[in-house]
Amino acid sequence: MPITVISTKIPDVLIIEPKVYDDDRGWFYESFNEKEFSAAVGCNITFVQDNHSSSKKGVLRGLHYQTQQTQAKLVRVCRGIVFSVAVDLRNSSPTFGQWVGVELSDENKKQLWIPEGFAHGFLALSDEVEFLYKTTDHWHPSSEQCIVWNDPTLDIQWPQIGMELILNAKDQQGLSWSQAPKFD
């Protein structure tokens, strides 16, 4: 089942579009194929954990990352619409400090590949969202970091759709870009 790979302004962050087979019964698509995915990203990837979250409209989660047991993520939405953001934290990268934002939805079925060395967050744009992500390492709570979602240095252009944002205490108190640990 072929996939389409779309480059972003950060070459290591990729949009993956699966081939969707649609007919009068509904639709079918292969949400993950190890052989095709590895070819798309240029190396073999092993996922060790699948996560599934539910959010209501206005929930903003992130920008999260781990300094140990760093995680690459393949994220997608199975219900609703989100604006998903990846921020490059790799000091040696030509795109260090830049971000990519992509709308993911149950309708467009796009997935976002976020390699290690990135912070990730998303904003729920629809009344109900179910967000799925595969990770390459396990959650390591003691090394988890959070960059505040509205850091002026990053200047992430979150969609402005006139809603009140809902953040937990950790996300409200995230670190500034200058305080956040980075990767070599």
CA-based nearest residue to 118, from 172, 46, 41, 62 = 62
Active site residue 140: no
Catalytic residue among 64, 65, 120, 138: 64
Q: Say how far apart CA 136 and CA 149 lie, in whole Å.
A: 24
Q: Which residues is 111 bridged to in the sheet?
A: 16, 76
Catalytic residue among 52, 120, 133, 140: 133
Active site residue 133: yes
Using an 8 Å Cβ cutoff, are 119 and 99 in contact?
Answer: no
CA-based nearest residue to 83, from 26, 123, 31 = 123
Q: Say how far apart CA 113 and CA 71 lie, in whole Å.
A: 11
Write out the catalytic residue numbers. Answer: 64, 133
